[in-house]
Amino acid sequence: MAGLTAEAIVCAVRAHGEHGVILRALTGEAGLVAGYVRGGRSTRLRPILIPGNLVALELRARTEEQLGGATAELLESRAPLLAEPLAAAAINWTTSLTASVLPESQPYPVLYSALSAVLDAIGVASSARQWAAALARYELLLLAELGFGLNLEECVVTGSRDELAFVSPKSGGAVSVGAAAGYEDRLFRLPPFLCGQDARPSMGDVLDGLAVTGHFLDRDVLDGRNRDLLTVRERLIDRLGRAVA
């Protein structure tokens, strides 16, 4: 394992040994990386190693068979956002998902930028609708980066690019109004913002978009196995739904 010095987003922290933690963080240049932080559960380090925080990370090289040591200095704290339950649930979900599904040490610079944007949006958006749309786009991008991208540019049945209004739960392809006739109840609704056509979607549209991405994350990425992680998402969607009501 080579040494690394980079800005990183804290994604997961797990207790290890008597005082330390194993840190997983996303970097722009090296992707998801892991390291052992000595004294990571101390009063000084706990506020730094909070999922969502931006840190200056240094990984010290060991052998490929051993976990490297890590140090982290705080660059930006998102801890104040955790006092708001909806924002806390969103940060918990996005960072946990990222830590769970990305392979280590493979660069995903676009995902790093997108995750940064989601976390920034949670911090500055005046309503959950704005950052929830960014979250849905992040999930859509994650699917694509992992090789499970959806085809939302043309109808999977006719090849037409007009009147795309649904998504097939089987193929992940868009379906036009005409091709969907009589089968609407078997398809997901395709909100325009997932295709980049609506900069200010309603919360109803956002929830429809999250229904699409959630289905394919569960089926293709999580494969129904990580029940605890899916429960985190279900709680988030429930809170977003109650925000609409």
pLDDT tens readout for residues 110-126? 999 999 999 999 998 77
Q: Is residue 108 included in any domain, yes or no?
A: no
* Same domain, yes or no: 172 and 234: yes
* Same domain, yes or no: 209 and 151: yes
Spell out the residues 6+ positions from residue 78 whose beta carbon is closer than 8 angstroms to its own: 50, 52, 53, 54, 91, 119, 122, 123
Q: Is residue 119 included in any domain, yes or no?
A: no
Residue 1: band (very low, low, confident or very high) from pLDDT cuts 50, 70, 90: very low
177: domain range?
Answer: 125-244
| Listed residues 47, 79, 111: the one ending a domain | 79
Q: What is the pTM of this model?
A: 0.93
* Same domain, yes or no: 73 and 130: no
Task: List, in sequence order, every residue forming a beta bridge with 59; answer none if it has no partner.
Answer: 4, 70
Q: How many domains does the chain have?
A: 2
| Listed residues 19, 52, 79: the one ending a domain | 79
| Listed residues 63, 79, 95: the one ending a domain | 79
* Same domain, yes or no: 34 and 129: no
* Same domain, yes or no: 147 and 48: no
Name the amino acid, one letter, at 122: I
* Same domain, yes or no: 69 and 157: no
Q: Is residue 17 included in any domain, yes or no?
A: yes
Mean pLDDT, to the nearest integer, of 132-141?
96
Contact 72, 12 (CB under 8 A): no
* Same domain, yes or no: 231 and 153: yes
* Same domain, yes or no: 129 and 239: yes
Q: 147: burial class by Cβ within 10 Å (0-12, 13-18, 19+)?
A: exposed
* Same domain, yes or no: 235 and 158: yes
Across the chain, mean pLDDT equals 92
Name the amino acid, one letter, at 46: R
How much is the CA Rg of the chain, to the nearest whole Å?
A: 19
Q: Give the span between the Cα atoms of 10 and 33, in whole angstroms.
A: 10
State the chain's maximal CA–CA distance in angstroms. Answer: 62
Q: Is residue 100 included in any domain, yes or no?
A: no
* Same domain, yes or no: 235 and 162: yes
* Same domain, yes or no: 61 and 136: no
* Same domain, yes or no: 59 and 163: no
pLDDT above 70: residue 183: yes
Which CATH number belongs to the domain containing residue 35 in this structure? Answer: 2.40.50.140
